[in-house]
Structures are given as C-alpha cells and as structure tokens.
Amino acid sequence: MHGDTDVTENYVITAEAGTLTINPVEIELTADSATKEYDGTALTKNTYKITKGAFVGEEGLASVTVEGDQTVGGKAANTITGHTLKENTEAENYTIAYKQGELEVTKASVEITITAGDGEQTYNGNALTNTEVTVTSGELLEGDELVATATGSATNVADTAEGNNPIAAGYKIMHGDTDVTENYVITTEAGTLTINPVEIELTADSATKEYDGTALTKNTYKITKGAFVGEEGLASVTVEGSQTVVGKSANTITGHTLKENTEAENYTIAYKQGELEVTKASVEITITAGDGEQTYNGNALTNTEVTVTSGELLEGDELVATATGSATNVADTAEGNNPIAAGLQDHARGYGRDRELRDYDPGRHADDQSRGD
C-alpha cells in the first residue's frame, strides 16, 4: 500500500511464515510438612500448596496424592506421588513439578511404672517364679508393647523377702520392630515371691488297757495334718506319758528332731495330745482273816492278819486289810468271829467289791496317782 494505493505489483515477494510460541505455565506443588510429639500413632499430612505459578482462570487440579508417614521419633519425607487435572485443563499448558514436605516426630516423656509380678505358694521343694512384668502406673502409647522379664526365684521360706523378684536389665518399649524406649521415663518396682511353711500336726497315739498293775505307755505318733516334701521329714519324735491306775492321762509329744535334709523354717509343727486310759479290771480274789486259838487265860485273843487265799494280786499291788475280832472267854468262841474290817472296798480298783484291799500303795504309786483322774 502506498497511502490508499495498492502498489504490490511493484514487488517480487517471497513469503516466509513466522512462529508464535506459547510457553507452558510452570507450576510447583509442595507437600505440606508437619510435626508432633511421639504418641504411638502415625503422623501423616496429605495436603499440599501451590508454591510456584498459578492455573489460568477456572483451570486447575482435580486431585493431588500425597504420601508419607512417620510413627517413631525421627523425620520422613512427605511426598506428592501424582495428580489429575480438571477436564477443562490441557496438560501441555502446564509443567508441574513436585516438592517434598517433611514429617517429624519428636521425643515424648511419658512417665510409667513397671512392676514385676508377685507370687505365693506353700513350700513344696520347687522354685517359685513369676516372670511377668506389667505397667502399673501410667499407660503405654498406642501400639507400644513392654518387653521385660522378672528374674527372681524362691524355693525355701528363708528365700521370702520384700522385692525378691527384680526386673532384669534391658527392659524396653517396642513399637513393632522399633525400640521406642527413649520416649518413656520408666520407674521399676520389684515383686515379692512368698514361700509359706507347710503346716504339720503331730498327734501322739492313744491307748487303753485293763488295769494290770503295770504302767500303760505309748511312745508312737501319727502325722494328722500336712505332709513332708519328698524325702524330708522327722528324724525322731519324743512322746511321754504313763498311766498305771484306773483313769486317764495325756500322752504328750515333748519334742522332735528333723532329718538333716529338712529345713526347720519350711515347716510349722504343732503337737496334739493323745490319751492313755486304764480301765477297771475284774480280778477275783478271796481274802481271809487269820484264825487264832488259846487256852482261857483272861486275856483277849486277837489276830489282825488278813491274807489273799484265792486268786492273785496284780503286779505291784498290796493288800491293806485288818481283822478286828477279839475273844476272851470260851463263850466268845464262834465261827467267823474275826471279821475283816469294813471301809476298804472303795480303794479296791480292779477287784471285786466284796474284797477288802488297796490296788496301790500311796507312797510307791504317788507318781502314777498324779497322772490318774
């Protein structure tokens, strides 16, 4: 054109096309970062920000995927792994770059007390253990587990003591395969293992017999409660008691000794009395007052002697009796005029009531009498 006039014919024109360049918008997506104190749960943050560039108009992102987690103390990347665009958004109009965020879990200071288990048993010769350790104050965080064991052992009563079940060194708190002990302030308490003694009751044997003038004794016994463990037991037991006359008395255990392999503190041994009883006998005897004879001389004739004339007294028994008759004149002579004095029958234990004698001498049998009824 020259002014308003087309002058194209004056030119030999070669045409070359130009280039119009549209550059894509540079977009940077950055995953958000996060931090928290250790609590046993995973720290995640699935959000993001556009930290560079901007989408045009209503164009933009339909979704963004952010992946990352951190559970135990430490740091981990929070990473954008993909995105989708809105339907009105052409992918070639944008270059989209990803930038990581950071997930950080800091150390906690959870206070807990862990306590070894107690245990109790009656002595049986076997070791008592309880390896259990539990959290008795405070709480473990979610997913955490206590790994600990108690190492105490008690076999004898003498082993019993407060805190004799300690917690072994090396206890820890695990979260899966990760040691998270550093997040806890731990107080340890030992348990107590108690061995109680076996209760043993020894009972002296009882015995009975009919009166025979000799002492009744019974130096045996029985275990009437409890039992000794294995080959443990008594070396000897002393039983004392004696009853001679009719009546009852105690048969008493006065002491015992244990076998060398038996610890005294593992047993509490009580004694129980038995009973010795002598019952009345029925020994038939005849006692006869003595006869006597003299020519009248004005003096009284007497004979106080009384003897056993049929049957026999039992061992140690002695007749105590007297005849009371007296004759001076011929007219006094009569069959049976020398009677045995009355009043002795009540002392004739073990003998027929019509017999007049004692079954013991108070001096010689004082010890037996003290044991009788």
Structure confidence at residue 311 (pLDDT): 87
Structure confidence at residue 373 (pLDDT): 36
The per-residue pLDDT for range 238-290, each reduced to its tens digit, is: 999 999 999 999 999 999 999 999 999 999 999 999 999 999 988 888 999 99
The per-residue pLDDT for range 282-320, each reduced to its tens digit, is: 888 899 999 999 999 999 999 999 999 998 888 888 999
End-to-end CA gap in the chain: 164
Q: What is the CA radius of gyration of the chain?
A: 58
Which tops the pLDDT comparison, 144 or 353? 144
Please compute the mean of the pLDDT values over residues 186-205 and round it to a whole number.
99
Structure confidence at residue 315 (pLDDT): 86
Structure confidence at residue 332 (pLDDT): 92
Do the beta carbons of residue 138 and residue 110 sit within 8 Å? yes
Please compute the mean of the pLDDT values over residues 332-349 and round it to a whole number.
75
The per-residue pLDDT for range 155-175, each reduced to its tens digit, is: 999 999 999 999 999 999 999
Please compute the mean of the pLDDT values over residues 54-82 and round it to a whole number.
97
CA nearest neighbour of 85 among 55, 62, 64: 62
Structure confidence at residue 352 (pLDDT): 53
Number of H helices, E strands in the chain: 1, 24
* Rounded Cα–Cα distance for residues 197 and 258 (Å): 15
pTM of the model: 0.69
Which tops the pLDDT comparison, 369 or 45? 45
Which tops the pLDDT comparison, 273 or 3? 273
CA distance to 98, 170, 286, 357, 367, per residue, from 304 (Å): 143, 102, 16, 14, 30
Band (pLDDT 50/70/90 cuts) for residue 349 is: low
* Rounded Cα–Cα distance for residues 47 and 125 (Å): 66
Band (pLDDT 50/70/90 cuts) for residue 345 is: very low
Phi-psi region of 213 (alpha: psi -120 to 50; beta: other; left: phi over 0): left
* Rounded Cα–Cα distance for residues 172 and 181 (Å): 5
The per-residue pLDDT for range 6-36, each reduced to its tens digit, is: 999 999 999 999 999 999 999 999 999 999 9
Do the beta carbons of residue 78 and residue 66 sit within 8 Å? yes
Q: Where are the alpha helices (DSSP H) in the chain?
A: 366-371
Does 104 have pLDDT greater than 60? yes
Does 5 have pLDDT greater than 50? yes
Please compute the mean of the pLDDT values over residues 330-336 and round it to a whole number.
93
Please compute the mean of the pLDDT values over residues 234-241 and round it to a whole number.
98
